[in-house]
Structure 1
């Protein structure tokens, strides 16, 4: 929320008040200019009714539409203007030019100012809206006369110290020609419509604001039945909330690939893949897991209707419908189908952010973000998606996005938003032997110990199952080829085991033969050695006997 500055009056449009550093200059006149359909009147009504709801009183002088029509407009946008009128907190003056008020070729503004003065004093109003003041131009004889009269009106407004918002059109540069921007108004807000690729976007710019800083760029804003909504993107800073809590994806195999406990809370996950690789099913499984934990999920679907999404996910056991009912469990999931081609990129950004602020989800699913990147606007889509992801991360919401890759993309993303992605998961098709299998790879996961293995996943009635790849003697195999190769490898293993067993038996037999032969050879060697030893002993004995005989003879001669 933007904190109101003591010298400002909040408009009730959060993004605009942020740009104005709190709101319009308090007690001073401001100009809101723009062409037809740019939203001048509803912004003025928002400013007026917001102030009354906060305790102020207001007066609206209309030079274009009837008071009844303005009350209808306000009611259509949720403002109880009729109730404010009944309670005396709002007075609407019908100031549309009347021929009876014209004297010659000029209109006398004294009667107009007198009526406004009386209404301000009667209601004690702090806020004043003068709608479509440029309608008066045709009632004045010369531009000089009108310029001087307008200067008098603005001086009179300053004396009354009411916070005034004057709306004027852009035809013939009314506000510039009469000096409203340069001299008279303390604040000037310009509105315009931009048409690109047959899609219209409303833009707002703060032209000037005396006595205070303000945003200077053009900012898109949303105008529909829910009122005005805008996001001052330049006001965001790198202050994303960081959590160490881990969240289960609801797919055990994917949790295991992410280190065992799933991704961090508040991180951004991107599933990229070709058609039919299971991106939506992965996102739905994560959304289902979050709902089972009792968390709120906002699921934005750019291609499937609610009924299609619920029916298709039932086929794999994901019952999202039970979380969309009126029970306590059914308040977890908000499904928001939006056709990507019907709105401009900025309007998509604002609608999603408004839904986030309205529902306060814990998890946001964007399926698929690639639908926003139509032909000739990839760069714009990238910039918008980077801002959207940043804004979601800034408030600590876990974001899950899917991206469709073209068949000839070779797995390369054309959105180029991976720098803002915490967990990037690629899904691809593997076609072999007339069969298609789905493979999953973790490209990156910041701060997590991830698996570097390419794994296979399958759709089953019980959900998604991720399996380790089969690595056999012939390489890696998936699907039925995996089972065939595994069967062949098992048969080969049986044969190899039998061959190994036979070879081991042969080796044992050979070892036994060798051992027997060794024993026989050892016995033969021992026998020969004994014979030789006996011969040596016999020879040594004979030599000894001869030496003994000789010694006896020699002694007898002496």
Structure 2
């Protein structure tokens, strides 16, 4: 069975290759979900591969459709376009009074489509939209009979056809979904802040083992991009579990040799405790091993992140300049969970990337309107990176100074190794402590150490005896972590 590319980035993956040829499909969704844009991508992808395309647009004029295509950089010059004006150009319909005008209009649509199919012999056909046909029909029964007639005619001609329609709550007809060979539903939701959240579901695709569930998509200046929902089942290869250094001798001692390649490390603590700086140290360690690294920054501009790390002696600017380190500035409210995880995977698939930093998990969740959805995506992303032997460093902010660990996140699910950074008062100054709370892949020391962070110096050292009592009381009061 030959399959035709949809022309939509990521959508073919959901369909195991694209639309089975010669069948009829339905894309439905409320206004603004991107149906027409996807249809244009379907037609232009066909034109690029030599397929003839035919578009019947009843929702706008042919010129308006061409302007829409041009806004995405698409060229419709090799695609036959007919609009309502050319389809229904029948002055005699207005002069007669024997037949219902709507019946004449519908008959004209069928006759014009049949004539065009015979003339053009297209491999790809788009009809936009069914709601316009429904409005022109005398009643629901007449409309459904019309749809059945159009569908049979298109199948007989061997054309792969895409019908566009609204969802039932916006006037669409739910009955026709049972007639077509495939249905995709497009959704659009507005969060309290940020871009619209768009997702699609392939409700059915006869004869094809398609990807189920909801998948994020976005509309870019090139058209629609779909981000297939990750499935860790696709990556069954276990991690190698090689121990690597963290870049800090003291932390390597506390973790009994370092952390494990292909696992996730969560650095958890209060604001100002040194979480991002420690993540920078692990980036530098990966670069020093001859690998590449990438950091996705939700809370700090990349330039600030690199300058601060340089001031503490980590020299990340050199790695950034020669391309071994890449920093990505992420904006709150401007990213979809599916889009983000695919961006991370794209970065991780570069030749030598073995360390990925996400700073912070709190910022990622803030940027996502559907937080439960985003957290599930992140969990699957970590599992996928694990099979690619990538160490994932997650920075997580502890809300407040007295909140218990795990109040905001289920950190046991997200982390294989948990490093806790805290601040405490001793000798009339705020000092920092570090503790390894768990390490799934091997032993670790349970004692606390002091984290020293000052210009030109970032290291771990034993806690002075005079500080230990105050620090111990703080940890006993507020440090309960899941294992």
3-state SS in 2 of match to 1:442: strand
Aligned match of 1:109: 109
Normalising to structure 2: TM-score of the pair? Answer: 0.82
Distance in 2 between residues matched to 1:396 and 1:146, nearest whole Å:
56
Structure of higher CA gyration radius: 1
Contact 1:296–1:360 (Cα < 8 Å) also in 2: no
Residue 100 (structure 1) aligns with = 89
2:448 counterpart (450, 454, 460): 454
Q: Is the 8 A contact 1:32 1:167 kept in 2?
A: yes
Name whichever of 291-300 and 148-157 sits farther off.
Answer: 291-300
Please tell me whether residue 357 in structure 1 is matched to residue 346 in structure 2: yes
Distance apart, 1:370 and its partner CA: 1.7
Q: What is the aligned partner in structure 1 of residue 381 from structure 2?
A: 388
Distance 1:283 1:50 in 2: 43
Which SS does the other structure have where 2:267 is aligned?
Answer: strand
Q: Corresponding residue for 1:299?
A: 295
Q: Deviations over 1:397-444 (max 9, x none)?
A: 321110000212144452013233222111111211311111111112
Show the counterpart of 1:317: 313
Higher helix share: 1
2:54 aligned to 59, 62, 78, which one? 59
Q: What's the C-alpha RMSD, in Å, of the aligned pairs?
A: 3.2
2:417 equivalent in structure 1: 423
Deviation at 1:276, TM superposition (A): 0.7
Please point out which of 112, 116, 135 is paired with 1:138. 135
Any residues of structure 2 matched to 1:172-321 within 5 Å, and which? 174-176=171-173, 179-183=175-179, 185-197=180-192, 200-225=196-221, 227-233=224-230, 236-237=233-234, 239-260=236-257, 262-321=258-317
* Gap change, CA 1:244 and 1:383, over 3 Å in 2: closer
Deviates more, 1:306-315 or 1:208-217: 208-217
* Residue number in structure 1 paired with 2:159: 162
Over 3 Å counting, the alpha-carbon distance change for 1:354 and 1:27 in structure 2 is farther
Whether the aligned pair in 1 keeps the contact of 2:62 and 2:81 (CA below 8 Å) is: yes
**SS at structure 2 position matched to 1:176:** coil
Aligned pairs (5 A) from 1:12-91? 12-13=7-8, 15-54=10-49, 56-67=51-62, 69-71=64-66, 73-74=68-69, 76-77=71-72, 81-82=74-75, 90-91=78-79
Shift of 1:280: 0.6
Measure the CA separation in 1 of the matches of 2:119 and 2:285: 59
Q: How far does residue 35 in structure 1 lie from its aligned partner after superposition? A: 0.9
Pick 1 or 2: higher relative contact order, CA cutoff 8 A, min separation 6.
Answer: 2
Partner-residue secondary structure (3-state), 1:31? strand
C-alpha deviations, 1:195-222, integer Å up to 9, x for none?
4545642221223333344444333323
Residue of structure 2 equivalent to 1:499: none
Distance 1:51 1:91, change over 3 A: closer
2:385 aligned with 1:398: no
TM superposition score normalised by structure 1: 0.72
Check 1:58–1:376 CA distance in 2 against 1; reply closer, same or farther (3 A cut).
Answer: closer
The 1-side partners of 2:394 and 2:64 are apart by: 43
Task: Check conservation: 1:271, 1:425, Cα contact below 8 A.
Answer: yes
Measured after TM superposition, the shift of residue 393 of structure 1 is 2.7
How many residues align? The count is 452
Of stretches 202-211 and 419-428 in structure 1, the one that deviates more from structure 2 is: 202-211
Paired with 2:188 and 2:34, the residues of 1 have a C-alpha distance of 10
Per-residue CA shift, 1:84-112, capped at 9, x if unaligned? Answer: x56xxx41413234552472423111443
Tell which deviates more after alignment, 47-56 or 283-292.
47-56
Which residue number corresponds to residue 528 of structure 1? none
Q: Does the 8 A contact of 2:165 with 2:172 survive in 1?
A: yes
Alpha-carbon distance in structure 1 between the residues aligned to 2:233 and 2:71: 31
CA deviation after TM superposition for structure 1 residue 296, in Å: 3.0
Could you say what secondary structure the match of 2:217 adopts? Answer: strand
